[in-house]
Amino acid sequence: MQFDTVIHDGTLVNASETARGDIGIRDGRIVAMAERLSGGDQRIDAGGRLVMPGGIEGHAHIAQESSGGVMGADDYYSGSVSAAFGGNASFIPFAAQRRGQSIDDVIATYDARGARSVLDYSYHLIVSDPTREVLEDQLPRAFARGITSFKVFMTYDLMNIGDGGMLDILTVARTHGAVTMVHAENNDMVKWMNARLAAKGLTAPKYHAISRPELAEEEAINRAIALAKLADAPLFIVHVSTAGGAAIVQREILSGARLYAETCPQYLALTRDDLDRPGMEGAKFICSPPLRDAATQAALWGHVRSGTFSSVSSDHAPYRFDESGKFRNGAEAPYPQIANGMPGIGARLPYLFSEGVVKGRISLEQFVQLSASNAARIFGMTSKGSLMPGMDADIAIWDPETTRRVTLGDQHDNMDYTPFEGMELTGVPETVLNRGSMIVHKGRLMAQEGQGRFVPRAPAKLDGPGHTAKERDPAQNFGTDI
Ligand code: DUC
Ligand code: ZN
Ligand code: ZN
């Protein structure tokens, strides 16, 4: 058999097994896996290395304005380069609708932005204005193009679509086989806390943590799940930051809900004390939901380990520590006027590998599930997320032993800080291939701007029996089809 590339002598890790062997690649796909493969125009020695599916980053804000109108620092070129240095072979950022904007216009805007990517990409649609035309015409057109997930917000006045809006979106999603992602925080609880803090003049970055109570997340997660059950639609809860929220998700998954959730490295690695760093330094750590405490970290790790979370995603939301980003509203801006988010697309997998696998909290196979294979399955990237003949040759080769300190330079993004600065991490993604083409190798970028392709996604393959509310069951509701 002829191969363009053979990766040899590596330890091959998939979501459910690990074995020694070689991988043969032709025309961008894996075409053979065997104990030993000869030939290949290019041979990559993976001796002493782990060969894994390239990461799929399922939560990143790239070339996207914040809800307050601040453009993030990373475009599809720098964002994809940073993702690749961090062990990812593809990513799914958001394409965000502004109120009044058509979904067709949103997609055209992000198609132009996405054309710069070095990695394969898709988008989750953020829907902020679910008008009749959006629900009946525009979203179905987006599905037809292979955009099979969207995100809605339960918070932020400019984004929150209300419970009725959510039910409408969930219903469209159910009809087409899409997944609805939700940012779950109770908007009124946050606004009420903001008003109380403002009345006392408490506006330093640390008060951000207090302004968005754990109860606000827990209440909204509970409500989002109830809404999804009424619509009998699958739901994906993004960036879970609380032990209580994770426990609700766990309980509902165990009782059969078609429910998925993620947490992020920042909730595992950082705490609200980081928001209390001197001066305005805490602004670097403002993200929503906010950082919590050490007990929460331990509880969230427990849920990573036990399978409550399908993914650990970065929620890369890069706002620089200057007037273009965090301080767009002034160097001493009160916390509600500081852009929400922090970078992390390059650090996500090195962090998860080191703190997860190397520290014995998760297995190598779980690492693959959390970094790639679950996102591929839930978000319909059917040719990615596992090492198998026929799949795209999206592969990350990891040196599992080298230890280094996190630096800004190693992130290869457009940011001027990393919240993980100085952390000592073991394990380095040394080589990343996307569709067989080398993107990074031993610290060097090998890819050309724009070589990534848009990936049309399939409807999600979903676990679980779903939920029929009594009141929607004709056998229990006087025979009504509602
Ligand atoms: N939600 C996100 O998912 N990312 C950044 C800010 C936010 O509110
Ligand atoms: Zn969010
Ligand atoms: Zn986000």
* 1-36 pLDDT tens trace: 899 999 999 999 999 999 999 999 999 999 999 999
Is 183 near ligand 1, meaning CB less than 6 Å away?
yes
Q: Are strands 179-183 and 120-121 parallel, antiparallel or unpaired?
A: unpaired
- C-alpha 323 to ligand 3 mean position (Å): 21
Give pLDDT tens digits for 375-429. 999 999 999 999 999 999 999 999 999 999 999 999 999 999 999 999 999 999 9
Tell me: the pLDDT tens digits for 434-468? 999 999 999 999 999 999 999 999 997 666 678 99
Closest to 11 in 3D by CA, of 375, 396, 370, 348 = 396
pTM: 0.98
CB-side neighbour CA atoms (13 Å) of 340: 18
Give the mutation target among 315, 316, 319 for probing the ligand 1 site: most ligand atoms within 8 A of CB.
315
Distance CA 309, CA 312 (A): 7
Ligand 1 center to residue 237 CA distance, Å?
12
CA distances 1 to 28, 37, 303, Å, are 15, 9, 44
CB distance 315 to ligand 1 below 6 Å: yes
Spans in the chain with pLDDT lower than 50: none
pLDDT of 26 reads: 98
Q: Which of 65, 94, 153, 340 to mutate to test the pocket of ligand 1 (most atoms within 8 A of CB)?
A: 340
User: Between 1.10.10.10, 3.20.20.140, 3.40.50.620, 3.40.1280.10, what CATH number should domain 54-371 receive?
Assistant: 3.20.20.140
Angle, helices 187-199 vs 214-231, to 10°: value is: 160
In the structure, ligand 3 is a single-atom ion and the residues with CB under 5 Å from it are 315
Q: What is the pLDDT of residue 462?
A: 67
Domain ranges in the chain?
54-371
pLDDT at 463: 66
Tokens standing for residue 68: 């307050």
- Closest Cα to atom 1, ligand 1: which residue? 288
Cα–Cα dist 480/482, whole Å: 6
Distance (Å) from CA 441 to ligand 1 centroid: 31
User: Could you write out the three-class secondary structure of 336-394?
Assistant: HHCCCCECCCCCHHHHHHHHHHHCCCCCHHHHHHHHHHHHHHHCCCCCCCCCCCCCECC
- Our answer on whether the CB atom of 212 is closer than 6 Å to any ligand 1 atom is no
pLDDT of residue 380: 97
Q: Where are the alpha helices (DSSP H) in 103-258?
A: 103-114, 132-133, 139-144, 162-176, 187-199, 207-211, 214-231, 243-254
Would you tell me how many other CB atoms lie within 10 Å of the CB of residue 365? 17
Q: Tell me the C-alpha distance between 431 and 6, whole Å.
A: 13
User: How high is the pLDDT of residue 67?
Assistant: 81
